[in-house]
């Protein structure tokens, strides 16, 4: 039987990408983009060169988090990602549109084609870690992404509002089909901290992530609180100045990929 890896497309000949991490979620709005962006920022802070490939074509939010409003440029060799203030390379459909508020109303195959182009026609120079902000769900676009890009590991982002068991099970099945390991689960918006007394408030009810993770033998890499400061900095496009230690364990697991 041919392994799915056999179908992976080579990147641009001038690209150098050491590790590719897919960031997935069951539905939109759980913080998948925030996690992709923050992990890229954290790896950059650790002295690596990171990149984000925004494969969430119909809901691209990566450029906004980094406050990038310029367009990507291309020459006869290929297209270049846009470099953020602190040095994270970003490619997103938003950097190609004439107007960044234009909606992307494309059908599945066209969307998948765009992701392929981001992989094959963009010159990603000396990237240690590329985070791929995947479209939510387990539809044909994420599938094409996994077939095109040699993903080294997947991070599943969930929130306590979700039926986390179902999402993790789907992610595990997809990862098995693609022969890609799941690095672990990041639970986002797990709780809020009362600004007056410091008490944790479980606004979305009790989390089930630990038991689900144990069932599938996956580590819980983070339980991130709802943080108004994060929301504010994300809105202002200054995510790179956000300080957090909640994603340190996730960053450790990503860093370990290079040392395998």
Residues binding ligand ADP (CB under 6 A): 25, 28-34, 61, 188-189, 224, 226-227, 230-231, 234
Q: How far is CA 53 from CA 93, 136, 178, 223, 247, in A?
A: 10, 14, 19, 24, 19
* Distance, CA of 244 to CA of 108 (rounded, Å): 36
Sign of CA dihedral 109, 112, 117, 120: negative
Query: Smaller CB distance to ligand ADP: residue 19 or 64?
Result: 64
Query: Smaller CB distance to ligand ADP: residue 4 or 29?
Result: 29
Binding region: 26-33
Query: Smaller CB distance to ligand ADP: residue 35 or 144?
Result: 35
Query: Smaller CB distance to ligand ADP: residue 33 or 144?
Result: 33
Query: Smaller CB distance to ligand ADP: residue 156 or 218?
Result: 156
Helices (runs of H) and strands (runs of E) counted in the chain: 8, 10
* Distance, CA of 24 to CA of 136 (rounded, Å): 6
In the complex, least distance from residue 61 CB atom to ligand ADP, rounded to whole angstroms: 4
In the complex, least distance from residue 227 CB atom to ligand ADP, rounded to whole angstroms: 4
Q: Residue 255's closest CA among 83, 47, 9, 51?
A: 47
* Distance, CA of 57 to CA of 135 (rounded, Å): 7
In the complex, least distance from residue 235 CB atom to ligand ADP, rounded to whole angstroms: 7
In the complex, least distance from residue 21 CB atom to ligand ADP, rounded to whole angstroms: 15
User: What is 111-173 written as a DSSP string?
Assistant: HHHHHHHHHHTB---SEEEEEEEPPSSSSHHHHHHHHHS---EEEEEE-TTS-HHHHHHHHHH
Q: Alpha carbon 89 to chain centroid distance?
A: 13
Binding region for ATP: 26-33
In the complex, least distance from residue 224 CB atom to ligand ADP, rounded to whole angstroms: 5
């Amino acid at each position: 039987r041919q392994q799915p890896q056999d179908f992976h497309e080579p990147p641009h000949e001038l690209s150098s990408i050491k590790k590719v991490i897919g960031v997935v979620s069951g539905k939109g709005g759980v913080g998948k983009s925030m996690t992709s962006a923050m992990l890229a920022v954290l790896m950059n802070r650790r002295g690596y060169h990171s990149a984000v490939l925004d494969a969430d074509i119909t809901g691209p939010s990566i450029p906004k988090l980094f406050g990038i409003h310029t367009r990507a440029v291309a020459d006869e060799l290929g297209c270049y990602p846009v470099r953020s203030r602190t040095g994270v390379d970003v490619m997103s459909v938003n950097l190609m549109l004439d107007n960044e508020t234009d909606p992307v109303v494309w059908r599945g195959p066209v969307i998948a084609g765009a992701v392929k182009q981001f992989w094959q026609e963009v010159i990603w120079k000396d990237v240690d870690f590329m985070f791929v902000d995947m479209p939510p769900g387990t539809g044909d676009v994420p599938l094409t992404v996994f077939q095109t890009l040699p993903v080294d590991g997947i991070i599943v982002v969930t929130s306590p509002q979700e039926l986390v068991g179902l999402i993790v099970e789907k992610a595990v099945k997809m990862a098995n089909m693609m022969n890609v390991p799941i690095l672990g689960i990041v639970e986002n918006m797990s709780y809020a901290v009362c600004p007056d007394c410091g008490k944790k408030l479980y606004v979305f009810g009790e989390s089930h992530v630990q038991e689900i993770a144990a069932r599938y033998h996956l580590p819980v890499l983070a339980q991130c609180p709802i943080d108004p400061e994060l929301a504010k900095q994300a809105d202002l496009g200054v995510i790179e100045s956000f300080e957090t230690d909640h994603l340190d364990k996730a960053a450790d697991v990503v860093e370990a990929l290079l040392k395998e």
